[in-house]
């Protein structure tokens, strides 16, 4: 296990030196800094400090001093996402598709200022690393290798068939991690829904592609896939399933196809996945 120091930005930046991803996590720290007395007005006032009109929506821009520049839409959808939230909810996952490395942190067991520690699935402690009094001692980051997107894996080697356009990798960006319970053919899979102008419709509006998922396997049609051609990954996947099934979740509307007309159709949101090729 490799011990680092620093906040959530610093910890995840040290994983494969993903320095540029750190700016995205300012959104997480903004949630962590919320307090019970925070009102919609104060959120909007803070937003006005970094105002940008992008495609008619408000955006929050991380200043350069925070480690980079990020445009993260928060307008109407973001207002309801942050308003009144006083505790972190869900997980943050960072997937570097160049290195095949995926890192996960459960915000339910994160405390700003504690040192970070990278662990494998076999070393992961459900509920956080704590002392005898139950206090968190480290911010725990689960790191797994041999994850890919787009293509066919054989003994750890990923190739793409040009005659199968569905084997293209998932576009870089930020995705909500949602339940995939409606798909009874793929038990244990999770849906990745692009955080764009039309959320929760199972479609990336920029590329017009859809159906992105997170699962184990040897073939990826744009999914984030844990390569089982290198060996048995079930124990590792069971740990990820346990983390997602025990973390804090939110409920969001299902807007895929005809379900968009059903006000009672809902999805469970487990957190966010950030995908980068860097």
Residues 183-200 pLDDT 10s: 888 989 999 999 988 899
Residue 153 confidence (pLDDT) above 70: yes
Give exposure, 233-269, as e/b (b: 16+ Cβ within 10 Å).
beebbebbeebbeebebeebebbbeebeeeeeeebbb
Residue 10: how many CB atoms within 10 A of its CB?
17
Please state the φ and ψ torsions of residue 17, each to the nearest 5 degrees.
Answer: 55, 45
pLDDT band of 113, cuts 50, 70, 90 = confident
Q: Whats the size of the chain, residue-wise? A: 278
pLDDT at 160 over 90: yes
Q: Are strands 91-96 and 266-276 parallel, antiparallel or unpaired?
A: parallel
**Non-local CB neighbours of 62 within 8 Å, separated by 6+ positions:** 23, 26, 50, 68, 69, 70, 72
Does residue 21 surpass a pLDDT of 60? Answer: no
pLDDT 10s digits, 202-224: 999 899 999 999 999 999 999 99
Lowest-pLDDT choice from 45-59, 76-90, 98-112: 45-59
pLDDT attached to residue 231? 96
- What does the pLDDT average to over 141-153? 96
Task: Read off the pTM.
Answer: 0.73
Q: Is the separation of the CB atoms in 28 and 105 below 8 Å?
A: no
Average pLDDT of the segment spanning 71-79: 37
- Domain definitions of the chain by residue range: 144-276
Those residues with Cβ within 8 angstroms of residue 84's Cβ, 6 or more apart along the chain or in another chain? 38
At 22, the pLDDT band (50, 70, 90 cuts) reads very low
Report pLDDT for 10. Answer: 55
């Amino acid at each position: 296990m490799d011990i680092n120091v620093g906040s959530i930005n610093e910890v995840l930046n040290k994983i494969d030196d993903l320095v540029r991803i750190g700016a995205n996590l300012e959104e997480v720290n903004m949630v962590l800094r919320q307090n019970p007395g925070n009102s919609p007005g104060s959120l909007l006032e803070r937003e006005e400090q970094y105002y940008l009109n992008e495609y008619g929506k408000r955006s929050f821009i991380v200043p350069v001093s925070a480690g980079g520049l990020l445009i993260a839409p928060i307008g109407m959808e973001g207002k309801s996402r942050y308003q009144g939230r006083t505790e972190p909810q869900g997980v943050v996952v960072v997937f570097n598709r160049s290195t095949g490395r995926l890192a996960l942190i459960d915000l339910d067991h994160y405390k700003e200022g504690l040192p970070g520690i990278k662990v494998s699935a076999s070393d992961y402690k459900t509920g956080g690393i704590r002392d005898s009094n139950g206090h968190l001692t480290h911010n725990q980051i689960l790191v797994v290798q041999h994850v890919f997107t787009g293509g066919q894996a054989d003994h750890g080697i990923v190739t793409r068939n040009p005659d199968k356009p569905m084997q293209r990798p998932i576009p870089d960006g930020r995705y909500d991690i949602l339940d995939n319970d409606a798909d009874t053919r793929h038990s244990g899979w999770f849906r990745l829904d692009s955080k764009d102008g039309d959320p929760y419709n199972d479609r990336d509006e920029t590329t017009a592609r859809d159906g992105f998922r997170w699962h184990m396997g040897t073939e990826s049609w744009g999914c984030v896939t844990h390569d089982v051609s290198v060996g048995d990954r079930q124990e590792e996947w069971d740990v990820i399933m346990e983390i997602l099934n025990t973390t804090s979740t939110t409920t969001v509307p299902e807007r895929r196809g005809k379900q968009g007309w059903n006000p009672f159709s809902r999805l469970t949101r487990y957190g966010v996945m950030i995908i980068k090729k860097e």
